[in-house]
Structure 1
Amino acid sequence: MLVSVLAACGKEKIVASALFAAAAAATAAAAAAVTAAAAAAAEQVQLLPQFLLTTTVVSLLLQQQQLQQQQPQQQQQQQQQPQQQQQQQQVVIWQQQQQQQQQQQQQQQQQQQQQQQQQQQQQQQQPQQQQQQQQGVRGIDRCAANNRER
């Protein structure tokens, strides 16, 4: 029985030693992982300024490219401005001509209305003038007849 107790104690020591060794290995692995993570973080921190510089350069290059693309467009717009101004002036001149034509047409219509009124007045006056002429002729005829009788 003593042998079996000693054997059991020996097995427990072996198991405890194995567990201790496993715990030590796990601790070493965790330490290695922490060290690797710290190294990776340190490398990223070292690469961060270079990354920022690279993104800044790329951003500046893109801005420069956009400006270069905008320059021809601005030049075209500047070239087109005089043409557009000239076209606008032509439109203004055309509008003025249209207004003048409308005014002339209105004047012509007014003149036509005046002429029509004058014609109507003349037509109304014609019977009166004819009556006056007839009366004048009758008066002359009477005077002549009276003169003959005398």
Structure 2
Amino acid sequence: MAEITRQSVVPDLDLDGIDAVLGLHIGTVNTLFVTRLERHLDALSVTPKQVAILWLINANPGIKQTDLSKFFQIERPTVHQFVRQLLKNGFAVNEPSKLDRRAGGLWLTDSGRETLAKARTAISEHEEKLTATLTAREKSELYRILMKLYLLAPAKD
């Protein structure tokens, strides 16, 4: 099997070793996945990250924003911005815990469940299209490698 490189995309461009930078390729593939998906989700008034939050709220009614922050490995104020938009759009509600009134939890609204169902379909179709050239084994190996990088990455600074 011939080596697959970006050089084939731009044969006259001197890449000066940049083609060996893994982060460049991960970032480019992420951009392909996210940017194209955003177009599909625009009609639903959600972003990919907001859909992921809806997905987790659906599976974990009453989830706290701190748990979302840990899962995504992003700062709480950033999670709060995503959640604030979901609340504004009526996709979720933030209600105080019955055990600790200081702590709030997130729940989906009917509109949020409907939006999530449509977004899941769009994501499934989108990912199937973008990974159509991969075998089931390659998809499984890609997932395994990405999880290894995620789980073994040093704690955020």
Same-fold call, TM > 0.5?
A: no
Higher strand share: 2
TM-score, with normalisation over the residues of structure 2?
0.17
TM-score, with normalisation over the residues of structure 1?
0.18
Structure exhibiting the larger radius of gyration computed from Cα positions: 1
Q: Work out which structure has the larger RCO, using CA pairs closer than 8 Å and 6 or more positions apart in sequence.
A: 2
